[in-house]
Amino acid sequence: MKWKIIIGAIILLPVLAHLVYAAAVSPLANYYITVEEYVARSANTPARVGGAVVPGTLRWDNATQTLRFQIAGARARIDVAYRALAPSALRDDVTAIVEGARAADGVFLATSVRVRCPHQYLPAGW
């Protein structure tokens, strides 16, 4: 009986260790990187970046059908261009999560823009 437990533990421990490791390095473990982490990367590296929309930077260009804005982290900011309709909750100071890559001119060309759930949906006192 004791040997069955030892053999079972020998088999299960590596499996459990692998599952913990796979969960830790999964792209879903880090939903997005910070603006500072993205700025440190080389140009044209696809990424999902999260940062606060800089107040006063949201601009819609009718001629090119492009939304332009900036997102900021603690010490850096990036310019973002998005050629589609913006999420209705996108406004100053909300956390935007942009997915895309940096162009040669340094502007982040977003293929997707999401807004982290605003606090207005939380009950009072949260």
Q: Clarify whether residues 51 and 84 are in a common domain.
A: yes
Mind listing the pLDDT tens digit for each residue in 92-119?
Answer: 999 999 999 998 888 999 999 999 875 5
Q: Clarify whether residues 14 and 59 are in a common domain.
A: no
Q: Clarify whether residues 4 and 48 are in a common domain.
A: no
Q: How many domains does one find in the chain?
A: 2
Q: Clarify whether residues 24 and 45 are in a common domain.
A: no
Q: Look at residue 4 and tell me if it is in a domain.
A: yes
Q: What is the pLDDT of residue 123?
A: 58
- Cα–Cα distance between 25 and 84 in angstroms, integer? 32
Mind listing the pLDDT tens digit for each residue in 20-30?
Answer: 766 655 555 56
Q: Look at residue 48 and tell me if it is in a domain.
A: yes
**Confidence (pTM):** 0.70
CATH of the domain at 74: 2.40.50.140
**Residue 15: domain span:** 1-30
| Lookup: tokens for 110 | 């977003």
Q: 90 with 113: CB under 8 angstroms?
A: yes
Q: Look at residue 126 and tell me if it is in a domain.
A: no
- Cα–Cα distance between 25 and 97 in angstroms, integer? 20
Q: Clarify whether residues 51 and 113 are in a common domain.
A: yes
Judged by DSSP in three states, 2 sits in helix
Mind listing the pLDDT tens digit for each residue in 21-59?
Answer: 666 555 555 689 999 999 988 767 789 999 999 999 999
Could you count the other beta carbons within 10 Å of the beta carbon of residue 41? 14
| Lookup: tokens for 68 | 């332009």
